[in-house]
Structure 1
Amino acid sequence: MAAAVAAAAAVVVAEVAADPRVELGVGIGWRSEIDLTVERLPGVEFVEVIAETVRPGRIPESLRVLRERGVPVIPHGVALGIGGADKPEISRLEHLAACAEALDAPLVSEHLAFVRGDGMEAGHLLPVPRTRDALTVVVENIKIAQAELPVPFALENVAALFGWPDDELTEAEFLGELVERTGVKLLIDVANLYTNEVNLGSDARAALDRLPLTELAYVHVAGGHSHNGVWHDTHTASVPEPILDVLTELCSRVDPPGVLLEWDDDYPSDAALAQELTRIRTAMSRASTRP
């Protein structure tokens, strides 16, 4: 069984490596609460939907409308638990695969996070210990996922309120080794890089210098709130300028295939969301004006 999984994963890695870059543009997270807003917002070039909220056999009408317009839709998982010691559940992978096929998605994304153990749910996307032992476990979990998915797989860096004391690698080194050993693509969340800079003292720009950005699938941008000196990545506020500055820094190093705005609650007006997309484009364009 293990040999079969390894062989299938090797084929998937080879196919992913051969896949051409998927150009996405600037997009926004699709949520049922703002489905009509997303449909009518100007300049939305792709969307992302939380995979756990989708029934592949009954795709929401709004997503069908967007697909008919040629707007790519990416299923984004939040519960796979690729960073846990347990193997990814096949039922969850089958759901992600069914979502990808139903939406004709160019790829599937998930978080590099720990979400459950011994049958208990963490209730949060927790950071993975960046040790050599954990790296071996995550590599195997990624290969299992790749063998089940019909499209390329991308992993997102997470925001953290704490770091593990036994970390042996930086986040960039950990992600770089995952890319090298599995061919997994990267979903870089610049808001999470900023969160970890504020909360943990990690240098966001130094991380960008060390990440394998040639394997970038797309980028997340979001707002949040500061409370008692701790940054909370809530996805419920306008993107602050320091996070847009990190986006500009990323764009000065690589031309990202796509950049997506996340907003998950306390939804503002259509005009406010349109303005956020304009601010993202402006931050991206600033990189091209630098010497």
Structure 2
Amino acid sequence: MAGLGVGIGWRPEIDLTVEQLDVDFVEVVAENLHADRLPESVRVLRERGVPVLPHAVSLSLGGADPVDPHRVAHLGALAQALDAPFVSDHVCFVRAGGLDSGHLMPVPRTRDALDVLVANVKAAQADLPVPLALENVAALLEWPDAELSEGRFLAELVERTDCLLLVDVANLHANARNLGTDVGRFLDEIPLERLAYVHVAGGQEHQGVYHDTHAHAVPPEVLDVLRQLRERVDPPGVLLERDDDYPSDAELAGELAAIRAVLA
């Protein structure tokens, strides 16, 4: 993959901050933008030559229902409007039986569930104008009777669909803390040559459970997971996510500097 550098998630609440920060690329939540009326700040970044990557949260690729073609078309149109090299979503489902969970729900790691996921990913890929990257999610529970580790599940998904991977080291830390996921094994099992870029985000522990809040500073433990990833591969890009309780510009710049330090 071509190098992206270090970036940050663009949000309307910090649009001017993002314009002023020293970032190499940004990511936008695809469902919050429309291809025919991009926010002025996003247009400014594109005019500067800053890559803007659409990141979706609603395709529900791991669900039993067929992929919604309107959601895929929206994502594809946004990719074309932004001249994005690829788009992304998650290895999860958000809808079932006509209900929307409002959360990224983990997929059972069974071969039957993998077959469904693969079929949905291929359907989405067929209608997208650019490659699709898929992200590991944080979970507070695991479905019973798993037949594959999370790393092997993702590796087989990539092998069967040729998708890219978006590795979220904060989600990986959350799963290690809450579910006992072996970070080293996960990183050894996934095909790092298919890495599109990496997410880093903050969280906090509450009553013995680590919550991936995107509203707190990035803890040292998450940077340590990034360091373990960096020992195996030079990531094409690393992006800081923040979705609430936005800190000062100086604090965001400090978190970006900490990421750069790990990569160096």
Report TM bin, short chain: over 0.9
Deviation at 1:166, TM superposition (A): 1.6
State yes or no: 1:239 paired with 2:240: no
Give, as a single letter, the amino acid of the residue that structure 1 aligns with 2:4: L
**Counterpart secondary structure, 1:101:** helix
Aligned residue in 2 for 1:57? 36
- Residue of structure 2 equivalent to 1:139: 118
- Superposed structure 1 runs of 4+ greater than 3 Å apart: none
Q: Tell me the equivalent position of 1:262.
A: 241
| Structure-2 residue corresponding to 1:193 | 172
- Matching residue within 96, 111, 119 for 2:90: 111
- Asked if 1:24 corresponds to 2:4, the answer is yes
Aligned partner of 2:227 in structure 1 is 248
Amino acid at match of 2:108: P
Paired residue secondary structure (1:136): helix
**Count of residues paired in the alignment:** 264
Letter in structure 2 aligned against 1:101: Q
Matching residue within 134, 144, 157 for 1:155? 134
1:40 to 20, 41, 66: 20
Alignment match, 1:282: 261
Query: Does the alignment pair 1:177 with 2:156?
Result: yes
User: Larger helix proportion, structure 1 or 2?
Assistant: 1
What secondary structure is seen at the aligned counterpart in 2 of 1:48?
A: strand
Structure 2 counterpart of 1:99: 78
1:22–1:106 Cα contact (<8 Å) kept: no
1:41-86: CA deviation from partner (whole Å, max 9, x where unpaired): 12x0000000000011000010011001110000000011011011
Report the Cα distance in structure 1 between the residues aligned to 2:118 and 2:144, rounded to whole angstroms: 21
Aligned with residue 83 of structure 1, among 54, 62, 74: 62
Deviations 1:211-252 (A, max 9, x none): 111100000000001011101001011111111011011011
Which AA in structure 2 matches 1:113?
C
Scaled by the length of structure 1, the TM-score of the pair is 0.90
CA distance in 2, matches of 1:142, 1:244: 30
SS of corresponding position for 1:261? strand
| TM-score, scaled to structure 2 | 0.99
Task: Tell me the equivalent position of 1:211.
Answer: 190
AA aligned opposite 1:31: R
Runs (5+) with no aligned partner, structure 2? none
Structure-1 separation of matches of 2:179 and 2:15:
36
Rounded Cα–Cα distance in structure 1 between residues aligned with 2:263 and 2:175: 21
C-alpha separation in 2, matches of 1:22 and 1:215: 11
Query: What value does the CA root-mean-square deviation take over the aligned residues?
Result: 0.6
Structure 1 gap ranges (5+):
1-20, 286-291
Secondary structure in structure 2 of the residue aligned to 1:253: coil
Question: 1:284 Cα deviation (Å)?
Answer: 1.6
Q: Name the SS of the counterpart of 2:228 in structure 1.
A: helix
Secondary structure at the aligned position of 2:216 is classed as coil
Query: Which residue matches 2:250?
Result: 271
CA shift for structure 1 position 22? 2.5
Aligned partner of residue 54 in structure 2, secondary structure: strand
